Amino acid sequence: MKRKQIYFIFLIIFLLIFSTACYNKNKQEPDNNTNKTMSLDNDKEPAVSEDSVNNNKEIKNIIQDKNTDNNSENKKADENIIVEKPVQSPLKTYPRLNIQIIEGPVVLEDSSLAYYRIHVKAAAYPRASISFSKDDSLGAWGPSTVQINLLPEETYNLKIYASNEIGNANAAVSLNWQEAKIIYGETIISDDKNNPSFYHIDVSVNEQKTRVYYKDKLLKELICSTGLPETPTPTGSYKTSDKIFYSWLPEYDVGAYYFVRFYNSYLFHSVPFDEQDNIIRKEFDNLGKASSHGCIRLGLEDAKWFYETLPSGIILDIK
C-alpha cells in the first residue's frame, strides 16, 4: 500500500513539471499570426480601422495648429529682435568690480572681536583674477569671498585687485566697528588702444563721412551713408556700445555685418546683403549719399575695421 502511494506522488510531481515546461515553451514561441502580420508584402498596407484614422487626423490637426502658432510667434519675434547668425567671441573688456558686504559688522559676545565678510565679482572678458590684501579666513569662504577680523576700535582698509590681459582694476573697503564704506579706485588700462577715452568719432551728415580720432589725431576717414530725409540719422552726442557680428533685418528684407550700436536701434554697419549673402550693388553704389533707414552704413572692409579695432564706449558726435 505504501509503495502505491509513493508511485502516485511521483506521478503527480512528474505531471506538474511537464505542464510547467510546456507552458514556458508556449510563452517563448512567437505567435504565428503575429509573424504573418509582420511579414506582409511590402506593397500592401495593413488594414487600419476607421477609428484609428480619425484619431490620426485629429492628432495631425493638433500638431499643425501648434506649428502654426509657433510660426506666427516666431515671425513676430523676428520682426522685433535682431538674431545673430555666426557665433562671435565676446568683446574683450577690462575688469569692473562689484563689491558686496554680505555680513558684518558682527561683534562677538565678549566684544573682543568684530568681523566682516566681503564678496567680490569682476565682470570682464577674458575672466579676471581677483586678489585681496588680507583674508583672515585663509580662503575658507572661496576665492571671491574674504573675512576681515577687527580688534576693538580697529579700522582696516581692505584692498581689492582684479586683472586680466586687457588691464587692471582696484578698489578698497574701509572697515571699522560701526560701518563699512566701499571706495572705488582708479581703473588702470594696460594698453591705451583699448581705452575708449583716447578716441573720438565725428560723423558729418553733409559730407557723408565718418572720422575716427585717436589722441586728437585723425586715425581714419570713412565714407558712409546716413539716413534719408524721411528716415534721418539722429544728430547729437552718443557713445558706442554693444556689437553684433551679423543680423538679418526682416523688416527691410536685407542682412548686414559688423553692427556697432550707438543709440537705441541706430547702429554703424556694413552695406546691406541679400538672402544669398551677396552685397546689394545698388546700396553699395549709394555710399557717400544719404540712403539708409537711419543707421550709418560703411563699406564692408571699413565696417570690419570699425568693428574689430575700436573699443566700445567711444563718444561720437553726429552733425
Mean pLDDT by runs of 10 across the 319 residues of the chain is: 63 67 52 41 44 50 52 48 48 82 87 92 89 93 93 93 86 90 72 81 97 95 97 96 90 94 95 94 95 96 95 93
Q: Which domain-ending residue is among 157, 190, 223?
A: 190
Of 22, 119, 293, 295, which is the active-site residue?
295
pLDDT of residue 67: 54
Question: Is 226 a member of any domain?
Answer: yes
> What is the span of the domain harbouring residue 284?
196-318
Verify that 233 and 251 share a domain, yes or no: yes
| Within-domain flag for 103 | yes
Q: Which pLDDT score, from 0 to 100, does residue 144 have?
A: 93
Task: Check residue 125 and give its pLDDT.
Answer: 84
- Is 35 within a domain? no
Q: Are residues 217 and 303 in the same domain?
A: yes
Identify the pLDDT of residue 126.
87
Residues 204 and 167 in one domain: no
Q: Is the peptide bond before 229 cis (omega within 30 degrees of 0)?
A: no
Same domain, 226 and 278: yes
Residue 295: active-site member: yes
Q: Please tell me whether residues 240 and 185 are part of one structural domain.
A: no
Q: Which listed residue (22, 119, 200, 269) is catalytic?
A: 269
pLDDT of residue 24: 55
**Is 206 within the bounds of a domain?**
yes
Q: Catalytic: 269?
A: yes
Residue 3 lies in a domain: no
Q: Could you say which of 190, 212, 247 is where a domain stops?
A: 190
Residue 20's pLDDT is 63
In this predicted structure, what is the pLDDT of residue 26? Answer: 52
